[in-house]
Chain A
Amino acid sequence: MNYLRTVLALLSVMVFGTAQAQTARFLENVLVRKTDGVTTVQLRPNCRMRYIDHQPAGTGSELRLQVSTTSACSGGGNAAVNETFIQDGLRLANVTAIDIQSWRTGELYITLRFSEPSSFVVRQRAVGWIEIDVDTRVDPSTLAATRPPPLDTVDPAEPESNEASRLATLRARQQRLEDLRRTLVETSDEGNFVVQLGVFSDPGPVLSRLLSLKVADSAFSREIRINDDLWHGLHLGFFATETTAQNALMQLSGDFPDAFIRRIRSGDTEAAQSAALIAADTDLPVAVVASREAVTDADLLASLYENGRQAVLNRQHALAIAPLTELLEYPDHAWRADGRELLAVAFERNGQTDRAMAEYNALLLEVTDPIAMARIRARLDGLEARTLSETTERVSTRSVGLDAWTFDGGVSHYYWRNQEQLVEDGNYLVSSSGVVGLLNASARRNGERWSLLMRVNGSYQNNLVEFDERGDVGWVSAAFVEASDNVLGLRARLGRQNNRGFGVLDRFDGATVDWKFLPGFSAGLSLGLPVDSPRFIGDSSRQFIAARVAAEELLDSTTSVSLFAHQQTANGLLDRQAIGGEVLYRDGDYSVFGLLDYDASYAVLNTALVNLNWRFRNGWTLTSRLQAGARPYLTTRNALAGQAAVSLEQLGDSYTEGQIRRLARDRTAENRSFAMGLSIPLGDRMDLSADITINNTDATVASGGVAQIPATGTELFAIASLVTTNVLGAIDLFRVSTQYQQSDWRTSTHMILDGRFAIGRRLRLTTGLRVESHERTVSGEEQRVLAPSIRLQYRVSRTLFDLEIGGRWSDRDLPPFELNPFVDDGSELTYGGYINAGYRLEF
């Protein structure tokens, strides 16, 4: 019998739905069953209860049951009860929660809170259960949101004397609950609902479609700007509830399958209403329709047409409207299309844009000539764009910072010292030591029309070792001023800069001008003096001029293309004469970049490169690069390699121009390389990446007293890294990396272990260990290296203090032909170390 009872209970759970764990003290279970739109909520008490009353009678947004309980229900404990019962299945009955409250023994209030006004019936079953039938088929908008009176007024009874303090606590808690509940209500705006039809880069055609659908609601557009992309979110509204919005959504689902309902805040509603593209509750203008009897009097129709036409020609547009309207009220005549077009023009020029658009839309249905249709569409597009721009300007509340200077940059100083020592020798050999100061700064001002940018990147190094022949040196890698005219689309940059997009190979001192002459199209000119190193200033012995045209946002904004021509001279000789271009294609998860650089004077391909970047849905990223061309880039100055002469002018003393160009060609090898990388996220906090590069460079040709540089053969580089974060702390980081390099000359393997730990908020400790193994193929020499390091970084406000110390132990097996008087067993042991100490101040 017990078995049978258990089975019946379990089966009832299966039939009626889920009964979750949060059963309140007075309720053993709450079961929910839905049949034909009526949901039954069955309250099963833990103790004996008797239904007394309920409020309100049959409909409302809350239902309060008053029941009496036996003393067994209180369990001998406190009579005051305030419990909440929540269960997912209750949503079938539109019930969000059930509150159980009691202020004295024997009386209990059970309140069902509905998500929307509902119709219900309450009854008590003989077994003691209380059942509430909720009819979910009834439209909630037709029901009153009646609530029972507040519980305090229902039960004003004095607390029982022995529970005064407990009840006071309970009431304080009740107040806290009320406060929280109020917060919940206040933070959820009472807002309206709108239907978002979609987001469009050009909403004009959609607006036309909406006009033709004659929707009864307001339509408005909201800008969604993400980085440099601008979208127009087109909405219909406004609806008091999601249910009413659902009706509009269903009517439009055929035309806008991705439409959905969203909330809009009340403040936004007012702004949107005032700027509606299509106003609700107003008569939409409609085109003139035939409403008179057909006439056979051709003179009458011709007269009406001619009167209207003459008025338009005389720019008396208001006068043209009446005869042309009358003309169109007559059906079936030869002047209808021409007359309607004239009427649309009259409306347009008379400032009645809506009526003009209505006539143009009607005209599109009447004409069949494709040229006329194109003409009408163009006019319609123009009117819609004008309407839209006026509206979106009003809707947009985004302010653009004008005439504000912004500065950023930093300055730093570092001391470093590297030294190494033979273990057997005992004398230190200082390799290098110095102090380097670096400065980078930029100032930017964005104006409504003019924008200015100034940037400088430079450094200065004091060498602290006597044998360094370079002495103290300075670099300037960038120093330019850039001005932009945002109205004309002009941009000019003057100073030291890079500009690979123009085919300029080196950093240069000069000027660049770009002109965006059409949206998405630009042309530019660049000229200047190339510099080999940022340590030097440009000299007039080398000069270049380059031009470029570029088109962006082609093929649905997926493709950009640029072409360049570049010519450079050195000491009066043609140094480089190249043409080429770049293509970038981006489509969702992958992009392809192509680059071509061809020297027309040498008829040599300097570079042909294709880069692929593909991000897969599972988070994997594949990168690939295929490159072929000259190494180094072929310029006539390549002829100086291996020669005693330092300029082409000096080389010209020994060789003719033709011979110099031949030498340049001989110093330049052919190269091919292929690289592929894969990045794989492993879980949330771990990344595995692997890259492989295969490289092959041909031999150069011996000539002019310069020996051949042999071919490299096939070189292989491979690296794999496993990086994980958030292991010991949120920002800790660990990395294990291995590198493998193989060529005809040597094989090397590296293993690197890194770890970064946060010590408090300001201090970071980074430890590293590198283990290397090298084997030189020709000599058979082997070398093993162990290099640990430790780094401390401490930040105070905008200043970062940095200290890094590292060691290096090397064990090298000497080849038989290499003599070292301090080495007697053929193994050379060295150890060394380095220290970097400095600061960086950001501003």
Chain B
Amino acid sequence: MRWLGILVFLAITACAASNNSPFVSTVDDQTGQSVVYAKSPLTFVANRPNLSQVGKDYLVISPLRASIQGTSRNYLFFALGSTIDRALMDASVPSVRSIILRVDGQLMSFETTKWSALSRQAPFSVDLLVHEMLVAEFTQSEMALITRADSLSAWLLDDNDRSPEYRLLGGDHKQWDQF
């Protein structure tokens, strides 16, 4: 009986370990739309010395699977936030025409659409004043390069193709290969 107890303990431990998924799944009760996203999204940051000495612009990226009635699409989800007081300076938030990721030596450009076209609710909470949420479809090949990358940075290009470089601050993209 003791061995049986040990076996049960090991089985429970193994199950607990197997539940340690790097992704979270939520379902919108109103629409039935389910969303899977990374527990640890990537956070990029860009200094804006002409606007603020300490305030920064942020870019949060997560793979996201939106499913409804069996139609499922994989997206990269982009949340654009800031701690810069633009209202005080009458400055406008940056307009984004396209997003470029530098993945080691490669440049990946993403033509984005607004997340609001898919859902009226934010897919997950970002601890920032978020002024824009965008999505872009990705391929498995792109995801494979991202998950293997040793170096990641980003640009949010405006209509004049200008952007500061957003450097990686945190997140764990190495686990995205399970997406």
A762 interface residue per 8 A CB criterion? yes
Shortest 5 CB-CB distances between A and B: which pairs?
A113-B70, A730-B129, A261-B141, A96-B72, A10-B11
Q: Hey, which chain A residues are within 8 Å of B177, CB to CB?
A: none
Are A687 and B54 in contact (CB-based, < 8 A)? yes
A18-B19, A176-B31, A761-B87 as given contacts; A199 in contact with B107, CB under 8 Å: yes
Are A725 and B106 in contact (CB-based, < 8 A)? no
A88-B36, A260-B139 as given contacts; A18 in contact with B72, CB under 8 Å: no
Query: What range describes how many residues of A lie at the interface?
Result: 35 or more
B125 interface residue per 8 A CB criterion? no
A484 interface residue per 8 A CB criterion? no
Chain A residues with CB under 8 Å of chain B are 3-4, 6-7, 10-11, 13-14, 18, 20, 22, 62, 82, 84, 86, 88, 96-97, 99, 111, 113, 115, 173, 176-178, 180-181, 183-185, 187-189, 193, 196, 198-199, 224-227, 231, 233, 242, 245-246, 249, 258, 260-263, 265, 398, 615, 617, 619, 681, 684-685, 687, 723, 725-726, 730-731, 733, 735, 756, 758, 761-762, 764, 793, 795, 797-798, 800, 842
B122 interface residue per 8 A CB criterion? no
Cα distance, A14 to B18, chains bound together (Å)? 8
B96 interface residue per 8 A CB criterion? no
**How far apart are A103's CB and chain B's nearest CB, in angstroms?**
16
Cα distance, A548 to B58, chains bound together (Å)? 41
Are B7 and A7 in contact (CB-based, < 8 A)? yes
B93 interface residue per 8 A CB criterion? no
Q: With A181-B69, A188-B73 given, can you name 10 additional A-B contacts, CB distance below 8 Å?
A: A14-B14, A22-B27, A180-B33, A183-B117, A196-B106, A226-B100, A233-B109, A258-B145, A265-B111, A731-B87
Q: Hey, which chain B residues are within 8 Å of A798, CB to CB?
A: 90
Are A795 and B90 in contact (CB-based, < 8 A)? yes
B9-38 interface (Cβ within 8 A of A): 11-12, 14-15, 18-19, 21, 23, 25, 27, 31-34, 36
A7-B11, A196-B106 as given contacts; A184 in contact with B118, CB under 8 Å: yes
Question: Closest A-chain residue to B170, C-beta based?
Answer: A684
Q: Hey, which chain A residues are within 8 Å of B109, CB to CB?
A: 224, 233
Are A10 and B141 in contact (CB-based, < 8 A)? no
Number of contacting residues on B, CB 8 A?
A: 76
**How far apart are B53's CB and chain A's nearest CB, in angstroms?**
8
Looking at the complex, which one of A10, A196, A242, A246 makes contact with B12 (CB distance below 8 Å)?
A10
Are A14 and B43 in contact (CB-based, < 8 A)? no
Q: Hey, which chain A residues are within 8 Å of B104, CB to CB?
A: 258
Cα distance, A741 to B9, chains bound together (Å)? 63
Q: Hey, which chain B residues are within 8 Å of A111, CB to CB?
A: 70
B124-160 interface (Cβ within 8 A of A): 127-129, 137-142, 144-145, 151, 155, 157
Are B34 and A224 in contact (CB-based, < 8 A)? no
Cα distance, A192 to B4, chains bound together (Å)? 56
Looking at the complex, which one of A22, A187, A193 makes contact with B113 (CB distance below 8 Å)?
A187
Looking at the complex, which one of A115, A189, A233, A764 makes contact with B107 (CB distance below 8 Å)?
A233
Cα distance, A617 to B32, chains bound together (Å)? 41
Q: Can you list 26 pairs linking A and B with CB atoms under 8 Å apart?
A: A3-B1, A10-B15, A20-B25, A22-B34, A88-B178, A181-B69, A187-B117, A196-B106, A198-B105, A224-B109, A226-B163, A242-B141, A258-B106, A260-B139, A260-B145, A617-B151, A681-B45, A684-B169, A725-B55, A726-B83, A733-B54, A733-B55, A733-B85, A758-B85, A764-B85, A795-B87
Are B141 and A227 in contact (CB-based, < 8 A)? no
A6-B8, A184-B73 as given contacts; A84 in contact with B27, CB under 8 Å: yes
Cα distance, A573 to B171, chains bound together (Å)? 64
Cα distance, A730 to B85, chains bound together (Å)? 9
Looking at the complex, which one of A82, A242, A260, A684 makes contact with B108 (CB distance below 8 Å)?
A260
Cα distance, A611 to B136, chains bound together (Å)? 41
A18-B18, A82-B32, A726-B128 as given contacts; A231 in contact with B107, CB under 8 Å: yes
Question: Closest A-chain residue to B88, C-beta based?
Answer: A764
Q: Hey, which chain A residues are within 8 Å of B100, CB to CB?
A: 224, 226
Q: Hey, which chain B residues are within 8 Å of A735, CB to CB?
A: 54
Q: Hey, which chain B residues are within 8 Å of A687, CB to CB?
A: 54
B95 interface residue per 8 A CB criterion? no
Are A193 and B23 in contact (CB-based, < 8 A)? no
**How far apart are B176's CB and chain A's nearest CB, in angstroms?**
13
Cα distance, A506 to B18, chains bound together (Å)? 69
